[in-house]
A and B are shown apart, each in its own frame.
Chain A
Amino acid sequence: MDYFLELFLGGLTRGSIYALIALGYTMVYGIIELINFAHGEIYMIGAFTGLIVISVLTLLGWNTVAVIVIAALVAMIYSAAYGYTIEKIAYKPLRGSQRLSALISAIGMSLFLQNYVLLAQTSNFLPYPNLIPEFTFVKPIEHIVRSTEIVIYIATALVMVGLTVLIKFTRMGKAMRAVAQDRDMAMLVGVDVNRVISFTFIIGSSIAALGGVLVASHIGQVNYYVGFIAGIKAFVAAVLGGIGSMPGAVLGSLVLGWTESFFTGYISSDYEDVFAFIFLVLILIFRPAGILGRSQTDKV
């Protein structure tokens, strides 16, 4: 029973992490039907930015929880600026041309950012300090869950609630739904489509950066490649849930997280990373629209 609980919580952690990244994939896809392959790199840049902020503040003699809060906020803002800029320089000029062009541009962006960070930070894993204090938890989850994991669960839940409120009740949220369903018509009722697209990149990128900082603190290290693996898995999760659907992204992430966790825990840990890809192939064969996806064109 304890082992089951451990795997369950481990899966929840993975799932929450995937969700923080998958949400950005799915939001961008919902709005402009582009798989933003550079999204994983945004996550990685968020983690590095957090590390830099933490290092500087630690040098200045701070070492409280406030440091990670500030680091996360700065990382979110910095990554949002990256997301915004990437859209403007790599995707916007290609809007209206073939989808393949934008996709290739996205892959190019991803490689560019990876290599840029590789040059700046080398390929070594850098240690990532964990500033979230460890608590001793009560009986059933004692020793099987760490406080960073609890923080990850809470952050993910807050992000989900926040996004739901944003999409359902705000003016920008309504505009996002309208653009996702019919971009030209949204324009004809007065929606500034460029702003909506920029906003989507900003939100998606800052959520990924939050994930980057939290995960790196949890794992304790970071290098230029972490965004690639995490990005691919989150992408699988988004497709699994139904790309373009936000509840789908969360559900897909949890399903993937739990499946990975139980599979490695009960069957074999050798094929952990292969698992996501087997999953992807199976979804594409049996349910191309994903769990919550609407068939073909429609999203959000």
Chain B
Amino acid sequence: MLELLDINTFYGNIQALKGVSLEIAEGEIVTLIGANGAGKTTTLMSICGAVPPRSGEIKFEGRAISDMRPNEIVALGISQVPEGRRIFPYLSVAENLDMGAFLRDDREGVKKDVEYIYGLFPILAERRHQAGGTLSGGEQQMLAISRALMARPRMLLLDEPSLGLAPLVVKRIFEIIRKINAENKTTIFLVEQNANLALKVAHRGYVMENGRIIMSDRADQLLTNEDVRKAYLGI
């Protein structure tokens, strides 16, 4: 479904991605793990067109998207839950959800999806008129995921959804990720520093170091891999 072929991405003169290639099939949960500064966020930003790669190719369903603008890529069905959540602070919860559906025209469908979201996260229904910026970290993460879902994406990109959240909230969020994948058949690309958690929910994983993919395997294999355990699981 998504294919990255030898992409190189730069910030000015700094090369953040060095020949990254990876592949995600429809219906999969794939995780990308790696230490701080490895280039995980940059990988997602390259996919969504915010920081396009200088060379290499990105294909979504066989179509080259590396030259498309972010709004065009969203329209193809790729939504992102960015690092740090990026809730619109002065829009209400309901308006934030509405922004997620910005490119959709089917009012009825949008309404239905809002109800679905409120069922998934009842706390968001309670807070629907509250400004997004006043929510707690966990609530904001739920809202960020919900906002991305409002676009009815075929593929969801998640950047460190567990960051800074209490274990119980993290557990809930990962349950939801699994549920979205199982029920809606949404393909998921999950970036995480919490490798243990990510590898437990994912089918396959890639390990990134200094802008390069250094390993890729089935998630259960990576979980038991000696090197991975030492470097990323702290065991």
A contacts, CB < 8 Å to B: 171, 174-175, 177-178, 181-182, 184-193, 294, 298
Kindly state the separation between the CA atoms of A182 and B74 in the bound complex, as whole angstroms. 17
What would 6 A/B residue contacts be, using CB atoms closer than 8 Å? A171-B102, A174-B99, A188-B82, A189-B102, A190-B74, A298-B90
Question: By the criterion CB–CB under 8 Å, are A189 and B99 in contact?
Answer: yes
Residues in B whose Cβ lies below 8 Å from that of A185 = 82, 86, 88
B3 at the interface (CB under 8 A from A): no
- Measured CB to CB, the nearest residue on chain A to B81 is A188
Question: By the criterion CB–CB under 8 Å, are B86 and A184 in contact?
Answer: yes
Query: What sequence of 0s and 1s flags, for each residue 64-80 of chain B, a beta carbon within 8 Å of any chain A beta carbon?
Result: 00000111001100011
Among A184, A189, A298, contact of B100 (Cβ-Cβ < 8 Å): A189
Question: By the criterion CB–CB under 8 Å, are A188 and B50 in contact?
Answer: yes
Question: By the criterion CB–CB under 8 Å, are B71 and A174 in contact?
Answer: no
Kindly state the separation between the CA atoms of A178 and B89 in the bound complex, as whole angstroms. 9
Q: A181-B91, A188-B50, A189-B100 are in contact. List 9 more A-B contacts (CB 8 A).
A: A174-B95, A174-B98, A182-B89, A184-B50, A187-B50, A189-B147, A190-B70, A190-B71, A190-B102
Interface of A is mostly: helix
B151 at the interface (CB under 8 A from A): yes
Kindly state the separation between the CA atoms of A138 and B176 in the bound complex, as whole angstroms. 69
The 8 A-B residue pairs whose C-beta atoms are closest, nearest first, are: A190-B74, A190-B103, A185-B86, A187-B70, A181-B88, A190-B71, A192-B71, A190-B102
Residues in A whose Cβ lies below 8 Å from that of B91 = 177-178, 181
Query: What sequence of 0s and 1s flags, for each residue 36-60 of chain B, a beta carbon within 8 Å of any chain A beta carbon?
Result: 0000000000001010000000000
- Measured CB to CB, the nearest residue on chain B to A300 is B90
Residues in B whose Cβ lies below 8 Å from that of A187 = 50, 70-71
Kindly state the separation between the CA atoms of A191 and B69 in the bound complex, as whole angstroms. 10
Measured CB to CB, the closest approach of chain A to B81, in angstroms, equals 9
Residues in B whose Cβ lies below 8 Å from that of A178 = 88, 91, 99, 102
Among A177, A188, A193, A298, contact of B48 (Cβ-Cβ < 8 Å): A188
Question: By the criterion CB–CB under 8 Å, are A190 and B88 in contact?
Answer: no
The tally of CB-CB contacts under 8 A between chains A and B is 62
Residues in B whose Cβ lies below 8 Å from that of A189 = 74, 79, 99-100, 102-103, 147, 151
Residues in B whose Cβ lies below 8 Å from that of A190 = 70-71, 74-75, 102-103, 151
Residues in A whose Cβ lies below 8 Å from that of B80 = 188
Question: By the criterion CB–CB under 8 Å, are B71 and A175 in contact?
Answer: no
Kindly state the separation between the CA atoms of A188 and B102 in the bound complex, as whole angstroms. 10
Given contacts A175-B102, A178-B91, contact A191 B86 (CB under 8 A): no
Kindly state the separation between the CA atoms of A187 and B50 in the bound complex, as whole angstroms. 8
Given contacts A187-B50, A187-B71, A189-B147, contact A298 B89 (CB under 8 A): yes
Residues in A whose Cβ lies below 8 Å from that of B89 = 181-182, 298
Kindly state the separation between the CA atoms of A178 and B69 in the bound complex, as whole angstroms. 18
Kindly state the separation between the CA atoms of A186 and B98 in the bound complex, as whole angstroms. 12
Residues in A whose Cβ lies below 8 Å from that of B98 = 174
Query: What sequence of 0s and 1s flags, for each residue 87-120 of chain B, a beta carbon within 8 Å of any chain A beta carbon?
Result: 0111100010011101100000000000000000
Residues in A whose Cβ lies below 8 Å from that of B100 = 189
Question: By the criterion CB–CB under 8 Å, are A188 and B88 in contact?
Answer: no
Given contacts A174-B95, A184-B50, contact A192 B74 (CB under 8 A): no
Kindly state the separation between the CA atoms of A97 and B70 in the bound complex, as whole angstroms. 20
Kindly state the separation between the CA atoms of A47 and B204 in the bound complex, as whole angstroms. 65
Kindly state the separation between the CA atoms of A298 and B71 in the bound complex, as whole angstroms. 23
- Measured CB to CB, the nearest residue on chain B to A171 is B102
Question: By the criterion CB–CB under 8 Å, are A191 and B50 in contact?
Answer: no
Question: By the criterion CB–CB under 8 Å, are A181 and B90 in contact?
Answer: yes
> In the complex, which residues 6-65 of chain B have their Cβ closer than 8 Å to any Cβ of chain A?
48, 50
> In the complex, which residues 119-159 of chain B have their Cβ closer than 8 Å to any Cβ of chain A?
147, 151
Question: By the criterion CB–CB under 8 Å, are A177 and B88 in contact?
Answer: yes
Residues in B whose Cβ lies below 8 Å from that of A186 = 88, 99
Kindly state the separation between the CA atoms of A191 and B80 in the bound complex, as whole angstroms. 13
Measured CB to CB, the closest approach of chain A to B113, in angstroms, equals 14
Measured CB to CB, the closest approach of chain B to A248, in angstroms, equals 14
Residues in B whose Cβ lies below 8 Å from that of A294 = 90
Measured CB to CB, the closest approach of chain A to B105, in angstroms, equals 10
Residues in B whose Cβ lies below 8 Å from that of A298 = 89-90
- Measured CB to CB, the nearest residue on chain A to B48 is A188
Measured CB to CB, the closest approach of chain A to B197, in angstroms, equals 24
Kindly state the separation between the CA atoms of A222 and B102 in the bound complex, as whole angstroms. 44
Residues in B whose Cβ lies below 8 Å from that of A177 = 88, 90-91
- Measured CB to CB, the nearest residue on chain A to B44 is A188
Question: By the criterion CB–CB under 8 Å, are B48 and A191 in contact?
Answer: no
Question: By the criterion CB–CB under 8 Å, are A191 and B90 in contact?
Answer: no
Question: By the criterion CB–CB under 8 Å, are B69 and A188 in contact?
Answer: no
Kindly state the separation between the CA atoms of A164 and B71 in the bound complex, as whole angstroms. 26
Residues in A whose Cβ lies below 8 Å from that of B70 = 187-188, 190
